[in-house]
Each structure stands twice: as C-alpha cells, then as structure tokens.
Amino acid sequence: MAKNNPINALIAVTLSALYFVWNNLPNVLTSCRLLLTPLAMILLVRSSAVSLAGCLLVVVIIEITDFFDGFLARRWKKVSDFGKLYDPYCDVTFHLMMFLCLASLGILPLWIMAIFLFRELTVWFLRAYCATSGINLAARPWGKRKANAQTAMLVSVIVALGANLWGVPLAVDAGLMALSVIFTLAAVAATLISFGDYVNYFVKES
C-alpha cells in the first residue's frame, strides 16, 4: 500500500524533476530565455510606464541567464553540441523578436531590422551547410560582440522610451535618446562586421 501512496509518488516525481533541472541547469537557464521572450514582447508593445519598467527587468533577467548558462556549462564541464546550437538560437530568437516589436511600433527603422535579420539567416544557412559538408564553422569573437552590442542597444532604447513616462527631466530624456541612437548605430556596425567575419571565415574553411 505504501508504494501506491500518492504523496510518495509526488515526492518521487518532484525529486526526479529537481535532479533533472540541476543536472541540466545550463540548458534550463537557456530555455528560460526562450520562455521569457513572449513576456518581454508583450510588455514592450504595451509601452506604458509600468510595462516598460517590467520589460526592462525581464530583459535584465534574460541577460543574466545568458551569462550564467555559459559559465555553468564551462565550469561543470557540460558543454555539449546541443548547447552550442541551442544557446545562440535562443539569443537570436530573443533579440529578433524584440527588434520586431520595436519595428512594429515604428521605433526601429525597417532597414536596420532587415540588416539584423539578413545577418542571422545567412549565418544559420552557412552553419547548416557546413554541418552537412563536415566543415567546422566555429563561433567567432565578433558574434559575441554583436550580441553584446545588440543587448546594449535594446536596453538603451527601452530606457529612452520609458524615461519620459517615468518623469525623467527633459534634458536627461534627450541625452538618453541620443545615447540610444549611438548604441543602435554601434549595433548595426557590429552586426555588419560580424557578418563579414563569418563570411570570410567560411570562405577560408571551405
């Protein structure tokens, strides 16, 4: 009868789930970024003082998990082929979805959105081709710099959007807006350099 006790069964399932989460924590953290992306999108599109503050908080949480999933994977020696693909996939999905929201709101010019999208689609095509051809298209340093630049851009734009709604002085608001433009241009530059870096590396390896 003890074996069929629902409490024992619940404890066993809970312990199994906790063991799975702990044993796969880097990938679980990566998955959190993907799961939090729709929430960040909704908060951004609502564009109220509260929703933008919430969006900023969610973005910060997502970026923290981005740091810790890679850190723990390396520290615990749990770097896997799946993780090498899953981590950038979640990063790209998060950034592109947020940029799509900004474009739909008329904040991000479509030509910038097109550059971001073209870079990601091209790099994923090159990776898929290399995988089928036995070529190792390793991650490039400019890929991480591009991601960091896009994150800085996203945070600066959200802060600039919310500044006026949060009662920030007009002079500071103007400064934040100018800063967001600078970070946006930097993100575009980093994206183009990263694109060229990947194409150049692909040509050399193939």
What are the pLDDT tens digits along the chain (206 aa)? 455 677 766 666 666 655 555 567 777 888 888 999 999 999 999 999 999 999 999 999 998 988 887 777 777 777 777 777 788 888 899 999 999 999 999 999 999 999 999 999 999 899 888 878 877 777 788 988 999 999 999 999 999 999 989 988 888 989 999 999 999 999 999 999 999 999 998 888 77
Q: What's residue 109's pLDDT?
A: 96
Q: Distances in Å between the alpha carbon of 26 and those of 29, 86, 122?
A: 5, 11, 27
Q: What's residue 61's pLDDT?
A: 93
Burial group, residue 150, by CB count within 10 angstroms (0-12, 13-18, 19+): buried
Residue carrying the six token digits 């969610």: 58
Q: What's residue 174's pLDDT?
A: 93
What is the C-alpha separation between 10 and 14, in angstroms, rounded? 6
Q: What's residue 17's pLDDT?
A: 56
Residue carrying the six token digits 């608001």: 173
Q: Which CATH number fits domain 26-205: 1.20.120, 1.10.890, 3.40.1130, 2.40.50?
A: 1.20.120
The residues near 197 (Cβ < 8 Å, ≥ 6 apart) are 140, 141, 142, 143
Q: What's residue 1's pLDDT?
A: 46
Q: What's residue 53's pLDDT?
A: 96
What is the C-alpha separation between 54 and 31, in angstroms, rounded? 20
Q: What's residue 151's pLDDT?
A: 94
Helix (H, G, I), strand (E, B) or coil at 135: coil
Residue carrying the six token digits 């850190």: 71
Nearest-10 crossing angle of helices 170-205, 110-133: 30
Q: What's residue 134's pLDDT?
A: 79
